[in-house]
Structure 1
Amino acid sequence: MAPTSKSRAQPPYLTKDAFPKHFASSSIRQVTYSDPTAARISSQNSSIRSIAWNSASTLVATGGPDRTLRVWNPERNNVRNSTELKGHAAMIETVAFNPAKEGELCSVSPDGVAKFWDVRTRTCINEVKGLGGAFTLTWHSNGQSLVVGNKEDVLHVLSPSQPTPISSHPQGKQTNQIAFCWSGSKIFATTGPDGKTRILDYPSFDPKYRLNYFPEDDPRTEFTLNGHTSSCLSVALQPTGRYLATGGSDAVISLWDTADWICQRTITTIAGPVRSISFTHEGSYVAGGSEEGSGIEVHHVETGDLVHAFKTAGPSPIVSWAPTKYVLAYTDLSVLRTVGLESSQK
Structure 2
Amino acid sequence: MGTYLEDMRSYFQRHNKQKEYVGHSSKVHTIAWNADGRRLASGSYDKNVTIFLFDNQRETLRKDFAYKGHGDSVDQLCWHPTNPEQLTSASGDKTVRIWDTRTHKCSATIPTKGENINITWSPDGQTIAVGNKEDLVSFIDVKSHKIRHEQQFKFEVNELSWNNTNDLFYLTNAQSGQGYIHIYNYPEMELIHSIHAHPGNCICIKFEPKGRYFATGSADALVSIWDAQELYCKRTLPRLEWPVRTLSFSHDGQLLASGSEDQTIDIAHVETGERVANINVAYPTFTLAWHPRNFLLAYACDDKDDRDRDRDAGTVKLWGLTDGR
One-letter amino acid of the structure 2 residue matched with residue 277 of structure 1:
L
Q: CA deviation at 1:15?
A: 1.4
Which secondary structure state, in structure 1, belongs to the residue aligned with residue 10 of structure 2? Answer: helix
- When the two structures are superposed, what TM-score results if normalisation uses the length of structure 2? 0.89
Counterpart selection for 2:73 from 74, 79, 91: 91
User: Is residue 220 of structure 2 the alignment partner of residue 250 of structure 1?
Assistant: yes
Give the letter aligned to residue 256 of structure 1. Answer: W
1:330 counterpart residue number: 299
Q: Which residue of 2 aligns with 1:176?
A: 158
Report 1:50-129 matches (<5 A). Answer: 50-75=30-55, 76-78=60-62, 81-129=63-111
1:30 Cα shift? 1.2
- Aligned letter for 2:150? S
Cross-structure match for 1:283: 253
The alignment partner of 1:22 has SS state of helix
Counting aligned pairs with the same residue, the percent is 28
- Quick check: 1:129–1:164 contact (8 Å CA) kept in 2? no
1:23 aligns with 2:12: yes
State the Cα RMSD in Å. 1.9
Superposed CA offset, 1:318-340 (max 9, x none) = 11111222110111324210112
Corresponding position: 1:200 with 2:184:
yes
Q: Distance in 2 between matches of 1:303 and 1:100?
A: 31
Distance 1:105 1:87 in 2: 14
1:32 paired with 2:16, answer: no
SS of 1:111 mapped into structure 2: coil
Letter in 2 for 1:33: Y
Task: Provide the C-alpha distance between the structure 2 equivalents of 1:48 and 1:271, rounded to a whole number of angstroms.
Answer: 22
Length-normalised TM-score, structure 1: 0.84
- Give 1:235's match in structure 2, choosing from 188, 205, 209: 205
Secondary structure of the structure 2 residue equivalent to 1:19: helix
Shift of 1:149: 0.9
Give the distance between the partners of 1:311 and 1:20, measured in 2 at CA. Answer: 16
Asked whether the equivalents of residues 126 and 161 of structure 1 are also in contact (C-alpha less than 8 Å), the reply is no
Structure 2's unaligned 5+ residue stretches are 304-313
Q: Per-residue deviation at 1:343? A: 6.9
In 2 relative to 1, CA 53–98 (structure 1 residues): closer, same or farther, beyond 3 Å? same
Matched, 1:261 2:261: no
Matched length: 307
The 2-side partners of 1:130 and 1:319 are apart by: 27
User: What residue is the counterpart of 1:308 in the other structure?
Assistant: 277
Contact 1:274–1:317 (Cα < 8 Å) also in 2: no
For 1:53-88, what per-residue CA distance to the aligned partner results, in whole angstroms no more than 9, with x for missing partners? 10111111001111110010133445xx42111111
Give the secondary-structure state (helix, strand or coil) at the position aligned to 2:204: strand
